């Protein structure tokens, strides 16, 4: 269970880092740039702890799927990016895929 908590925080750290990429304006703004570096550093450290017990394919699938959905929502909420029906359906497919992998696949077993 601890690995899944690490993974959740790794995803959140990556989303924070990615969200600040736009604000860093090509790493010309110091504070957002430092948040990007710290966010990614923490994210990869926590992901490495996660992969001690969660299979790499499963961990990365969850990381990328949940991270994609969250960063898309951040882009929509903070930066006014638009989401059309195919985008929402695609994100829904990703969430369903991650759920199927974790709930029904033997690949997710530890």
Which pLDDT score, from 0 to 100, does residue 14 have?
97
Q: Are 67 and 11 in contact (CB under 8 A)?
A: yes
Around Cβ 16, how many Cβ atoms within 10 Å?
A: 19
Around Cβ 80, how many Cβ atoms within 10 Å?
A: 7
Enumerate residues 6+ apart whose C-beta is below 8 A from 106: none
- Structure tokens given for 31: 């504070």
Measured distance CA(101)–CA(96) in Å, rounded: 9
Domain residues for the domain of 64 are 2-108
Per-residue pLDDT of the chain (110 residues; tens, 9 = 90+): 899 999 999 999 999 999 999 899 999 999 999 999 999 999 999 999 999 999 888 888 889 889 988 999 899 999 999 989 998 898 889 888 888 887 787 776 55
Which pLDDT score, from 0 to 100, does residue 11 have?
97
Number of domains in the chain: 1
Which pLDDT score, from 0 to 100, does residue 45 have?
98
| Full-model pTM | 0.85
């Amino acid at each position: 269970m601890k690995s899944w908590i690490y993974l959740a925080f790794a995803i959140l750290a990556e989303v924070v880092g990615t969200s600040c990429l736009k604000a860093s304006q090509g790493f010309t703004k110091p504070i957002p740039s430092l948040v990007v570096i710290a966010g990614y550093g923490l994210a990869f450290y926590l992901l490495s702890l996660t992969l001690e017990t969660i299979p790499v394919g499963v961990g990365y699938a969850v990381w990328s799927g949940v991270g994609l959905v969250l960063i898309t929502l951040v882009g929509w909420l903070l930066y006014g990016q638009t989401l059309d029906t195919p985008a929402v359906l695609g994100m829904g497919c990703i969430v369903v895929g991650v759920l199927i992998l974790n709930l029904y696949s033997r690949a997710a077993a530890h």
